[in-house]
Structure 1
């Protein structure tokens, strides 16, 4: 029986670790891990979360096992989260036992979209913002170029596993350098719109939403940690923008 409890405890810890690493909000992490444990036959499951780790305790026939896992940030990936939710549902319906669930969990991979598709869509989204703000075709095209170049830089730095704040700062720097050409050469009817629109891809919206959701749902420490991280990313972006403006001697967005 203790062997089953150890296996289930590892399953719960791995699922929670993956959920936390790929951007799930704290309430979802706690709910899914507890449901997996109960569906696997545990009498009680308790999960404690922090910004970069989790502690799982299972109780089975008056025997208690506690395990801890580090959970470094792996980037937001909803595919991983939905796959783990499916495993949890199949456990609850009796389609899987804990051993088959462990095999399926091991097979979950954070597949991503084609990088050039992402670059193109990011470029179009930022360019669309410039168009909505009143920019003409020239503003639209240079915004598309600047944000696409910035996204390529962001992907390359991320692929080399640099600190996210370094990534955001350097991406903002390069994106602003490119977008500043619109102001220097007076491209379009409102060149300053390019500088404001091209860096919108660096707004940490998902971490900010998760931080507010966590605090509203009682996970104060997690919410504060995520809010601080989102604020640091915003600060890094600002430093990159100001550095590029200083280098190009182009100040202000003129909005």
Structure 2
């Protein structure tokens, strides 16, 4: 492998790692896939350093090192991208793909998403189901569905316009709580406060929190702390949105 070939392989490894980090993969998975992909393509070893929004990769072949850095802005959790890169890695290790095949496959990956209206409806039903399981009647169920459905549509619209996630969560929580508090103001259902509590469950940052704990347990403490702080800030923004809506309506019952 000459220097130009090593440089091309380094670009492929960094591209794969960048896509993994952008779409929510845990740090150990990013590191393992980059190292295994580089070795499968002929490198002696791959060293990788991760941070919350960037990565630095050094590839080594015959004592010659090439180091490259990549920015990794968040593009939302998408497990399809992660599983596709894992398939590419397995095919490369089995010698079914060379570096040209890997490049073609990586460039072909697109983060396909579900229909936005389907997502909003499913989110509405999931939050409404929590209210029902907690003892709410069908009126509370219906109110929770409407509030969470509208809240999810607001969240999608703000996200589509590339606003800050903290602003997104805060505004979504405000709108959702504002709508669900109508039940308490008008005494809809047997436990109207359940709608206020259940409709904002869609804003719990579960995946970032799980990744944060996983990273810290597996030795990537800096990444884990960064993800934990971001998840905590999202929770704080959600809380501020809820409290703001309660100040407007004067409904504080479920707290």
Aligned twin of 1:162: 163
Q: CA deviation digits over 1:67-119, x for unaligned, max 9?
A: 00000000000000000001111110001001110111011000000001100
Deviations 1:150-177 (A, max 9, x none): 0000000000000000000000000001
Please state how far the C-alpha of 1:235 moved relative to its aligned partner.
0.1
Rounded to whole Å, the distance in 2 between the matches of 1:148 and 1:22 is 24
Distance 1:191 1:70 in 2: 46
Per-residue Cα deviation, 1:7-43 (whole angstroms, up to 9, x for no partner): 1100010110000000000000000000100000000
Structure 2 match to 1:37: 38
Q: Equivalent residue for 1:147?
A: 148
Aligned partner of 2:6 in structure 1 is: 5
SS of equivalent to 2:67: strand
Cα distance in 1 between the residues matched to 2:253 and 2:87: 48
CA-CA distance at 1:252 after TM superposition:
3.2
Instruction: Please identify runs of 4+ aligned residues in structure 1 that moved more than 3 A.
Output: none
Separation (CA, whole Å) in 2 of partners of 1:213 and 1:91: 27
TM-score using structure 1 length:
0.99
Q: Which residue is 2:97 aligned to?
A: 96
C-alpha separation between the residues in 2 aligned to 1:165 and 1:53?
A: 20
Show the counterpart of 1:237: 238
Query: Is 1:250 matched up with 2:245?
Result: no
Q: Give the whole-Å Cα distance in 2 for the aligned partners of 1:238 and 1:252.
A: 15
1:78 pairs with 2:79: yes
Alignment partner, residue 49 of structure 1: 50
For residues 252 and 191 of structure 1, the distance between their equivalents in structure 2, rounded to whole angstroms, comes to 9
SS at match of 1:64: strand
Normalising to structure 2: TM-score of the pair?
Answer: 0.99
Following the alignment from structure 1 to structure 2, what is the Cα–Cα distance between the partners of residues 225 and 193? Answer: 33
Runs of 5+ unmatched residues, structure 1: none
The CA deviation at 1:120 is 0.7
Give SS of 1:66's match: strand
1:218 pairs with 2:219: yes
Q: How many residues align?
A: 254
Q: Distance in 2 between matches of 1:87 and 1:48?
A: 22
